[in-house]
Amino acid sequence: MESPLRLIALNPVDRLARTVEALLVVASAPLSLDELADATEDHPERIETAICLLRERHAEGRSGIVLEEVAGGFAFRASRDAADACARLFERPVERGLSQAALETLAIVAYLGPCSRPDVARIRGVAADSAVASLVERGLISEAGREPGQGGAVRYRTTPLFERVFGLESLAALPRLDDLGEDAAELRERLLEVAEARAS
């Protein structure tokens, strides 16, 4: 028998949105559309509709919980309004105290990964052992097989946690490498200018 207090009947999308909401609350890592579709036994297209509904409900400024698309999936996070309170209660061990060497190593792995420690050392010009170990310990990079051949060096790639910590929807959200730094031709010109100035 229907409850006499129930005034608003849920439509199917609403019902699905509630289920998706529940799954995202339970999950501690972002859930992809496929994972949500599997769990709800529903179509990905309908999940997308439900996600749109949830995005409206859990938007920044409207709720203490915000739905974001990150690391190839969807996840809840605290609203930015609550950041100060969160900071008083929780630490951020993953990104705290990341050294310049670790950041450069992380950038190399993010752009060129999977890549090995020798690859990183070749670009940076110094050994990358401690920086790689630190990033592995923080969970920002992880092993991804070995280089071809017997005794090949271990390769590393970034983890979904990396994307989450840096708020990236995926690695494709990183800026294009060509847009960063100086052009090799420009650099060469500058090097030649310096050399000529010294020679004279």
From 10-18, 42-50, 98-106, 145-153, give the range in contact with another protein by CB under 8 A: 98-106
Note the Cα 91 to chain centre separation in Å.
18
Rounded Cα distance, 44 and 37, in Å: 5
From 32-40, 45-53, 95-103, 144-152, give the range in contact with another protein by CB under 8 A: 95-103
**x-marked contacts with another protein along 41-80 as a string, rule CB under 8 A:** ----------------------------------xxxx-x
Rounded Cα distance, 25 and 114, in Å: 32
Decide: 156 and 142 in contact? Cβ < 8 Å.
yes
For the bound state, the minimum distance from the C-beta of residue 41 to another protein, rounded and expressed in Å, comes to: 19
Q: Specify the 3-state DSSP secondary structure of 111.
A: helix
For the bound state, the minimum distance from the C-beta of residue 11 to another protein, rounded and expressed in Å, comes to: 29
DSSP 11: P
Decide: 174 and 111 in contact? Cβ < 8 Å.
yes
Decide: 52 and 44 in contact? Cβ < 8 Å.
no
What element of type H or E holds 41?
Answer: none
97, 149, 151, 181: which one binds another protein (CB under 8 A) = 181
Widest Cα–Cα separation across the chain = 97
From 1-9, 39-47, 144-152, 175-183, give the range in contact with another protein by CB under 8 A: 175-183
Tell me if 146 contacts another protein by CB under 8 A.
no
Rounded Cα distance, 165 and 157, in Å: 15
From 1-9, 14-22, 143-151, 186-194, give the range in contact with another protein by CB under 8 A: 186-194
Decide: 147 and 116 in contact? Cβ < 8 Å.
yes
20, 36, 108, 128: which one binds another protein (CB under 8 A) = 108
Tell me if 36 contacts another protein by CB under 8 A.
no
Query: Which residues in this chain contact another protein in the complex, by CB under 8 A?
Result: 26-29, 75-78, 80, 82-83, 86-87, 90, 92, 94-95, 98, 100, 103-104, 106-108, 110-111, 123-125, 161, 164-167, 174-175, 177, 180-185, 187-188, 191-192
